[in-house]
Chain A
Amino acid sequence: MDLIISLVINGLATGMLIFLLAAGLTLIFGLMDVLNFAHGGLFVWGAYTGVFTYTLTESFLIGIVAAILTGMILGFLMEKLIITPVYGNHVQQILITLGSMLVLQEMIKVAFGPNAIPVSVPDYLAGSWELGEVILIKYRLFIIIVGLIVFGIFHYILTRTKIGLIVRAGVMNKEMVQALGINIKKVFLFVFMTGAALAAIGGMLMAPYSGSIYAEMGMEFAILGFIVVVIGGMGSFSGSLFAAVLVGLAGSFMAYYVPSLSLAVNMILMAIVLIFRPQGLFKMAKG
């Protein structure tokens, strides 16, 4: 029983991390239909600038703020320079965002050096509680809580507020929303920047969890993010959360019980979901 609880908590924490990463993609890929292969680059830049500020100021919170700012700035530049000309054209999106990904990833090595950087958990989040035989690692609980808060905020904004309504309408019919007097370009820019900021937060929170950061981690996690968005159903935050937790739990249980299959578990999960529910687990928010 204790073992199962530990595995569940591990799985939930990993799942939440994956969700934070996939949340940005849910906006950019799921809602706006941009195949953003540079998402991993935003993730890594968030992690590096966040960790850099964190070690400089020794405040984890300022580190997170720095990561968010980096994400928003990069998101702004990318949307304006890279994404705007290729909306609606997947083939060109793949090429141009892969190019940006290479640039972002190599710029990390120029700015911070090519070696992996070790990251420690801040003091007040280090350590763990013991409940009987179960060991609760504080940082994992912290991640679960942050993940739930982010989910709550975005689910609320997207489904209950006017901004969410405009975004969803803009995705469905750009010209119509424009004709109603709303500057849809600005809205898309804002959505893209938010997605980029979410990726950066995910990267920053990932850093103490995995203990070290390196430039190549972006692409690995970006593919994981794409998997989660597709399994969950494009553009649905509930879907992404559910899929991310599913991926996290499956990974944690498989790693314990069937370690030889743990490499394949995400792929198997995605194959099963897509074969039986080709539209993803949850229906698209666009309807």
Chain B
Amino acid sequence: MGMKTTNLVSKYHIFFFVILIFLIAFPFVADSRTLTILFTQIFIFAILAMSYDLLLGYTGIVSFGHAMFFGIGAYATAILLNTFEPTIGVFIGSMIVGILLSAIVSFFVGLLTLRLKSHFFAMLTLAISGLLLVVAEKWRTVTKGNDGFTFRAPDIFKDRIVFYFCVLACLVIVFLLLRRFVASPLGKVLIAVRENEQRTRSLGFKTLHYKVISSVVAGVVASLAGSLYAVSLRFVNTSVMTMDITLDALLMTIIGGVGTLVGPIVGSVVIEFAQHYLSGLAREFPIFERWIIFFGIIYILAVVFFPKGIVGSIQMQISKWKSKKEVRKTFALPEDKERAS
């Protein structure tokens, strides 16, 4: 058995490695500006969706206010780059400022909201992020409200390929760190909270503390995604804090597979590509003018055919197939033995 698992892990490693090499080689092989930008967008939303999955998939809480951390990161970067010189140092500083702010906000919001039961928690996070959105809309001297403002990104990011690699690096680092995080003893407690909060509490864990930690980590990662998003557009307005961003993260997570870190990445790929190509089709064929209908149908079909999300369904299929193989090995039928020899 031991041999088998190590064998399997390395198989996964090879798989990831191949994809990584493909992504690194991609901008050099395919000389397409649109696709490079689309991939950058996918990476950014994959980071956001992974952070959301930490809440939804690993801790089992539905938040409707995740966009506020994305927005905090985006505004921190945009405002600092606008006020100071657009250098790489200021950019990194603004990321850190966004992360710190998100950590503080998510800590207090978590303490305030996480005591509530599921629906009420979801609604309270919606209310708080709604308030923050109103603040962003009204505080026009700083945020310029709904009109937003453009700013200069650091010169090095003017090259789309450099920025592509920066975001890719962020995605890989965040993925590895989060994978480490969910596999840690802390992550195991979070999964226990998801499975049965009462039982976890009676085992002596202060579940509120763990839930707050989870929401702080998720908020910090979302803020990072927001910083990158602002730089990718070189523009920011209040749309970065709206419910739409939260819903996007939510849908990517569910479509890809809740409770897996690869799932949100797959979901982000699927949704961004579908959006890109369906809206592209709309320009060519008038039937696709209302392409959002097809988008809605994709969601409905996803629930019908992939109730556990794409990655979750594939995993289930593999484990089913593996256990079948296991049974065959243990209770090998004579004809199988013959076939083997």
Contacts and interface: CB of A to CB of B under 8 A. Distances in A.
Contacts of B243: 223
B145 to A, nearest CB: 11
Nearest to A260: B138
Contacts of B251: 95, 98
Contact of A274 (B120, B130, B292, B307): B120
B115 A96 contact: no
A171 B251 CA distance: 28
Interface in B103-134: 112, 115-120, 123-124, 126-128, 130-131, 134
Interface residues of B, number: 39
Contact of B258 (A85, A91, A100): A91
Contacts of B112: 275
Contacts of A268: 127, 131
A263 B134 contact: yes
Contact of B299 (A102, A107, A264): A102
B62 A103 contact: no
Q: Tell me the dominant secondary structure on chain B's binding face.
A: helix
Contacts of A279: 120
A158 interface: no
A271 B126 CA distance: 9
A109 B300 CA distance: 20
A234 interface: yes
A180 interface: no
B168 interface: no
Given A85-B304, A107-B293, A234 B119 contact: yes
A98 B119 contact: no
Q: Tell me the dominant secondary structure on chain A's binding face.
A: helix
Nearest to B112: A275
Contact of A95 (B118, B123, B137, B302): B302
A47 B293 CA distance: 20
Nearest to A81: B300
B295 A102 contact: yes
Contacts of B162: none
A227 interface: yes
Contact of B300 (A96, A110, A263): A96
Given A98-B247, A102-B296, A263-B137, A91 B128 contact: no
Contact of A106 (B117, B124, B137, B296): B296
A227 B123 contact: yes
Size bin of chain A's contact surface = 35 or more
A270 B115 CA distance: 16
B254 interface: yes
A101 interface: yes
B124 A271 contact: yes
A246 to B, nearest CB: 14
A227 B126 CA distance: 9
Interface in A34-89: 82, 85-86
B224 interface: no
A203 B119 CA distance: 25
The 10 A-B residue pairs with the shortest CB-CB distance, nearest first, are A99-B299, A102-B296, A103-B296, A267-B130, A99-B300, A264-B134, A96-B303, A267-B127, A270-B127, A99-B296
27 contacts: A90-B118, A91-B258, A92-B303, A94-B62, A95-B302, A95-B303, A96-B300, A98-B296, A99-B296, A99-B300, A99-B302, A100-B300, A102-B292, A103-B293, A106-B292, A106-B293, A227-B127, A234-B119, A260-B138, A264-B130, A267-B131, A268-B127, A274-B120, A274-B124, A278-B120, A279-B120, A280-B120
